[in-house]
Amino acid sequence: MHADIRSLMLPHLVEAEAYAAIDPPEVLAREAGIPEDQVIKLDGNENLYGPSPKVKEALAAYKSYHIYPDPQQRKVRQALAGYIGSSPDRIAAGVGSDELIDLLLRLFVGPGDAVIQCVPTFAMYATFTQLVGGRLVSVPRTETFDVDVQAVRQAAKSGAKVIFLTSPNNPTGNLVSEEVVRQLLELGAVVIVDEAYSEFAGQSVSSLAPQYSNLVVLRTFSKWAGLAGLRIGYGVMDPAIAERLLVIKPPYNITVASEVALLASLEDKALLLSRVANIVQERDWLFAQLQRMPNLTPIPSSANFILCRLSQTKAQRVYKELARKGIFVRYYDNPLLRDYIRASVGLRRHNQALVTALHNILSEGAI
Ligand SMILES: Cc1ncc(COP(=O)(O)O)c(C=O)c1O
């Protein structure tokens, strides 16, 4: 027996902060005191169309759940190479793109090594950097939330190992241009371009991978393909990086269920991409509605969510009022985003409910 078991833990992990993850619908329903089927969940940038119907059929028909998945991910990497226009040796798949962020940091970053992120951005880069004992360097974005290239250059001078770029960025929704990606690749650090929302933007830098051995492009099936719950992401990169990721990953990381779902999704790509087009149309409709709201400014987005600035530090109260009505958006308890909420784009009925609720909250002085 040990008096203080924490004293045996690694100090940097005892101090590590948890990623502020989102709660599942049943917890949200309990909080709001409503039935689960009345929850409008716009807090996780999930795809409210759900998966392709072919996924459900394929999962039901699959016969070999008792056999381990292929540790070399052969079928998956072949299919992904066809989808993204690359070759299988440049591809590695993970349990969501989250796992690839983790594995890449483990591959490249040791204690004290610098990792650059451009804030505000996806919080998982910080979470996983602290797990490897890396030194996180947060470079603020410009007023328009663009990457401050000069400031990143300056920060990289003392020898950064990894630079995260996110395109479209979460939570701001804006893209990083190919020109900026190229400029930062020239610095020599590993540049991870996280394209989780790429299908909604119709833009990708994955075709640059053969030109730059230090470029890794991350993609996921969580957003465009509606498979967030099955956890499957992938990266396109130099074959030497992909080969190492396949060695250091847990051997059976992606499950056969996610493998089956991925292959069925790619077979139904046309349907899924038509849903993406609908979500993009909905995003533009929602943006126009939000622009008319008093005390609220939506930020233009190339993804499936919209960040909204609320004047007079009302963001947290608006978030709470929406939650009371069963509409869950994302609020960040962080100085850079204190005046903002982020709403995912759902189907028209969800978006309409959000617009009506926001309108009532903001115009009728409910707060
Ligand atoms: C920018 C960004 N990258 C990665 C992820 C993680 O995606 P996955 O579900 O593939 O782990 C998210 C999820 O919200 C995200 O916003």
Q: What is the pLDDT of residues 321-361, one digit of tens each?
A: 999 999 999 999 889 999 999 999 999 999 999 999 999 99
Fold classified for 5-50+270-363: Aspartate Aminotransferase, domain 1 (3.90.1150)
Q: Tell me: the pLDDT tens digits for 167-216? A: 999 999 999 999 999 999 999 999 999 999 999 999 999 999 999 999 99
Which is more confident, 26 or 149? 149
Q: Is 121 in the pocket of ligand 1 (CB under 6 A)?
A: no
Nearest to 92 by CA among 304, 253, 288, 280: 253
Confidence at residue 22, expressed as pLDDT on a 0 to 100 scale: 83
Separation of CA 25 and ligand 1 centre (Å)? 19
Q: Is 258 in the pocket of ligand 1 (CB under 6 A)?
A: no
Mean pLDDT of 268-291: 98
Torsion 323-328-333-339 (CA) sign: negative
Q: What is the pTM of this model?
A: 0.96
Confidence at residue 105, expressed as pLDDT on a 0 to 100 scale: 98
Query: Whose CA is closest to atom 16 on ligand 1?
Result: 170
Q: Tell me: the pLDDT tens digits for 93-131? A: 999 999 999 999 999 999 999 999 999 999 999 999 999
Q: Is 97 in the pocket of ligand 1 (CB under 6 A)?
A: yes
Fold classified for 53-268: Aspartate Aminotransferase; domain 2 (3.40.640)
Separation of CA 122 and ligand 1 centre (Å)? 8
Residue 352 CA to residue 357 CA, distance in Å, equals 9
Checking if the pLDDT of 314 tops 70, the result is: yes
Checking if the pLDDT of 233 tops 80, the result is: yes
The domain spans of the chain are 5-50+270-363, 53-268
Burial zone of 218 (CB within 10 Å; 0-12 exposed, 13-18 middle, 19+ buried):
buried
- Ligand 1: atom nearest CA of 169 is 1
